A and B are shown apart, each in its own frame.
Chain A
């Protein structure tokens, strides 16, 4: 299995600012995924983070708003840029590991934009 540490666990931010969320995995993984969960909603995939190449974004999400870095096989960051109250959500990092079919998740970052 994999243990995923995500930080910060929560934050309250002013509109117009940016927040970077960090995701650290305790083992090397091929793909890392970033999901958004808006209040009372399900999880929606933002992008897939590949090591050594640009992230692959889902429809409705763009790199300028959600830049992602993946400098190595155990670490990734997601930045929420120029935040507005509509960005208030839980952001979750996820990864799969070789030999496991299930995806593992970080604890999530609960973001409130005021």
Chain B
């Protein structure tokens, strides 16, 4: 079974609108972390936001917020007030278990290509 599922291969959004990118995950480990990365056409991976399985509050970082619904095993990324520079591939990823040592590998979803329309 897929550990990380992103069901939207591509999305087109008008500039300045909000957009939600979907991500569902599958794990039996109570300790895990969920990540979103942005990959522009240059190929680099840019970390956006992190949510730990034990975190009570939804994570926020500037225009990015994570809608974490633990019972549904979903971790959707919300981008508010989209900008042209937001056009990129977006990957949801998971680490299980999660620690502060950074020793665990990441499992990635298939990604969503977001295109912002002026």
Contact = CB atoms under 8 A, between A and B. Distances in A.
Interface size of A as a range: 20 to 34
Interface string A16-33: 000000000000011101
Chain B CB count within 10 A is highest, among A31, A44, A110, for A31
A103 interface: yes
Instruction: Give the most central of B52, B100, B105, B108: most A CB within 10 Å.
Output: B105
A66 interface: no
Nearest to A1: B47
Contact of B103 (A92, A96, A107, A108): A96
Task: State the 4 A-B residue pairs at the shortest beta-carbon distance, nearest first.
Answer: A96-B102, A105-B45, A108-B43, A43-B108
Given A99-B100, A102-B102, 12 more contacts: A31-B103, A43-B108, A48-B105, A94-B106, A96-B104, A98-B101, A100-B100, A101-B99, A101-B102, A102-B50, A107-B44, A108-B45
26 contacts: A30-B101, A30-B103, A31-B102, A31-B103, A37-B43, A41-B110, A42-B91, A43-B91, A45-B105, A45-B106, A48-B105, A92-B45, A95-B102, A96-B103, A97-B102, A98-B100, A101-B50, A101-B102, A102-B50, A102-B102, A103-B35, A104-B47, A107-B42, A107-B43, A107-B44, A108-B44
